[in-house]
Amino acid sequence: MDTKKCSVWMFLPLVMSLFTSVGLWIVYFIAIEDKKIFPLTFDRRPDLRRPPYISIAGDTPPASCVFSQVMNMAAFLALVIAVLRFIQLKPKAINPWLSISGLVAFCLTSFGMTLLGNFQLNGSEQIHNIGTSMTFGFGTLACWIQAILTFKINIKNEGRKAGIPRIILSAVITVCVIIYFIFEWQKLIILAPRVQWVLVMCFVIYFGTLAVEFRHCRFEIICIENQEHQEIFHSISENMSDLSEYQTDQV
């Protein structure tokens, strides 16, 4: 890969993935240090500490403060990535409804993440659980939609290279969601948190894979001051659109 030809926008999904994963593990270790939860490595509950679910790790200060910040930033970055991904695929989408569905699913996932971060389990359990359902439910759907779009649109003939890992990650996420709820139903508080951490890490890694296509694109914002420039803006937009399409084909 020629890094000189890569767009700086490729770093956005990578930053989101790295920031979120590191932030969540910081929350985990803070909770361990404060003896709020027992470690994931334990095979049985050692004392009266609570299970190492992510929501429980970020339930009380100071871990809850870090958890809220991490989830809010992750939700914002996920929303930006979702919008840019939609803009990237829109000119090439054969089935616009699929691309729109992917955008809506990612937006609902982002909203669910804000509910997770701002309504802790201890204070607002019902709202927190709604956020959990939205994040895992719509997040899983969004992953499958993006995997399908990767193969269908096949940007720069890299559909297989990016699509196969996304199919694998989507399958792992789906299996983890099913197993997680089965373990929860059976009250397996040792195994369920481990599955939850695997699920979340796979989901975060999935966002990072979008850097593959983002490295081919450059996103720009054009600002106009008043209505007098509308015709000029329209003309510039058409020229920029033609130029962008040409550049995309030539990169």
What is the full per-residue pLDDT of the chain (251 aa) written as tens digits?
Answer: 545 577 788 899 999 999 999 999 999 999 999 999 999 988 887 777 899 999 999 998 899 999 999 999 999 999 999 999 998 888 776 778 889 999 999 999 999 999 999 998 888 889 999 999 999 999 999 999 999 999 888 777 777 888 899 999 999 999 999 999 999 999 898 999 999 999 999 999 999 999 888 887 777 777 777 665 555 445 544 444 443 443 444 33
All residues at 6 or more sequence positions from 168 whose CB lies less than 8 Å from its CB, including other chains: none
Instruction: Tell me how far apart the alpha carbons of residues 123 and 129 are, in angstroms, rounded to a whole number.
Output: 12
Which pLDDT belongs to residue 156?
79
Instruction: Tell me how far apart the alpha carbons of residues 62 and 78 are, in angstroms, rounded to a whole number.
Output: 25
In the block, tokens 């996920």 appear at 78
Which pLDDT belongs to residue 69?
95
Instruction: Tell me how far apart the alpha carbons of residues 113 and 174 are, in angstroms, rounded to a whole number.
Output: 18
Instruction: Tell me how far apart the alpha carbons of residues 221 and 147 are, in angstroms, rounded to a whole number.
Output: 28
Which whole-number Å values give the CA distances from 139 to 48, 143, 173, 187, 237, in the listed order? 33, 6, 9, 24, 33
Contacts 24+ apart (CB under 8 A), 226-232: none
Q: Where are the domains of the chain?
A: 3-219, 221-251
Centre a 10 Å sphere on the Cβ of residue 174 and count the other Cβ atoms it contains. Answer: 16
All residues at 6 or more sequence positions from 136 whose CB lies less than 8 Å from its CB, including other chains: 177, 199
Lookup: tokens for 65: 């403060």
In the block, tokens 């709020």 appear at 36
Identify which of 10, 59, 22, 70 has the alpha carbon closest to the alpha carbon of residue 208: 10
- Give the residues across from 37 on adjacent strands: 50
All residues at 6 or more sequence positions from 239 whose CB lies less than 8 Å from its CB, including other chains: none
Instruction: Tell me how far apart the alpha carbons of residues 198 and 40 are, in angstroms, rounded to a whole number.
Output: 11
